[in-house]
Amino acid sequence: MKTKLFNIKYCGSSWKLPRNSEKKKSELLVPTLSAYAIEFSELRIFGFFEEGTHKTLTQDIDYFINGDSIFIDYFHPVHVTYIQLIVNYHGIREYELLFPKVTNLELKSRLAKFYQESEASFESQSWLCYSLMNAAIFEGMLISVIGKDCGFYNLIEMAKNKGYINSFESECIHNARNKRNLIHAGKFKADFITRAEAMDLRTVMDKLIYDLQVESRQGQTL
């Protein structure tokens, strides 16, 4: 069993509120959620409640998951600061569902295959293969976010400047970009990818596979 944490930033566009008093549920959109074969989940709501204090609500939350949506007993979302969803899941049920904002079907299909290969590489501790697949996934996602293919280096820098990724994430992705050269015979003196670097890549990938699907973007998706 695997665990996935969704840190859901509160924003009005994520919510679909009941249109009338007869509807008891509000809908929270969580891109990529439908990709996971979920066994168990826990919802945590952080915000200001009736007594006017900031607290975490974890019990007595009536909700259910359907596709990329969480349906929650209606409460006014102005009181919510952010939400966490923790899911225990068996695996990825359909890899293309990890890339809902990638509208180019051929690119989406290729990214799905890359992600499946990256999982197999990680489980077998094949760190170079894992790094290569991660670099390919990052490049494809950034092309979708930026809206054009302007070279991997430029994509990383543009994503950082636009605030889609932070400095640590940028450094990890650049490292994966550079490690692609290790496949050339003449690069045998270059440092091989370490386990620690692969673990950092895993941390960044697990975060960005969700974050890059929900960030507002200035370019057009591909």
Is 176:135 a contact under the CB 8 Å cutoff?
yes
Q: Are residues 192 and 125 in the same domain?
A: yes
Q: Given this model, what pLDDT does residue 32 score?
A: 95
User: How many structural domains is the chain composed of?
Assistant: 2
Q: Are residues 37 and 144 in the same domain?
A: no
Per-residue pLDDT of the chain (222 residues; tens, 9 = 90+): 899 999 887 555 455 555 544 556 788 889 999 999 999 999 988 877 666 666 676 767 889 999 999 988 865 555 677 889 999 999 999 999 999 989 899 999 999 999 999 999 999 999 999 999 999 999 999 999 999 999 999 999 999 999 999 999 999 999 999 999 999 999 999 999 999 999 999 999 999 999 998 864 333 333
Classify each residue of 94-118 as buried b or exposed e, where b means 16 or more C-beta atoms within 10 Å of its C-beta. ebbbbbbbbeeeebbebbbebbebb
pTM of the model: 0.84
For residue 38, what are the domain limits? 2-91
Nearest-angstrom CA–CA distance, 57 and 45 = 5
Q: Is residue 221 part of a domain?
A: no
Q: Are residues 47 and 103 in the same domain?
A: no
Q: Are residues 66 and 134 in the same domain?
A: no
Radius of gyration in angstroms for the set of CA atoms belonging to the chain, rounded to a whole number = 19
For residue 151, give the CATH number of its domain. Answer: 1.20.120.330
Q: Are residues 99 and 208 in the same domain?
A: yes
- From 37, 68, 91, give the residue that closes a domain: 91
Q: Are residues 86 and 118 in the same domain?
A: no
Tell me which residue of 140, 117, 131 sits closest to 180, measured CA to CA: 131
Q: Are residues 67 and 126 in the same domain?
A: no
Q: Given this model, what pLDDT does residue 100 score?
A: 92
Length of the chain: 222
Q: Are residues 135 and 53 in the same domain?
A: no
Q: Are residues 101 and 204 in the same domain?
A: yes
Q: Is residue 66 part of a domain?
A: yes
197: which 2 tokens? 């670097």
Q: Given this model, what pLDDT does residue 42 score?
A: 94
Q: Given this model, what pLDDT does residue 129 score?
A: 98
If phi > 0 it is left, if psi is from -120 to 50 it is alpha, else beta; for residue 28 that is: beta
Please report the sign of the dihedral spanned by the C-alpha atoms of residue 143, residue 172, residue 89, residue 111.
positive
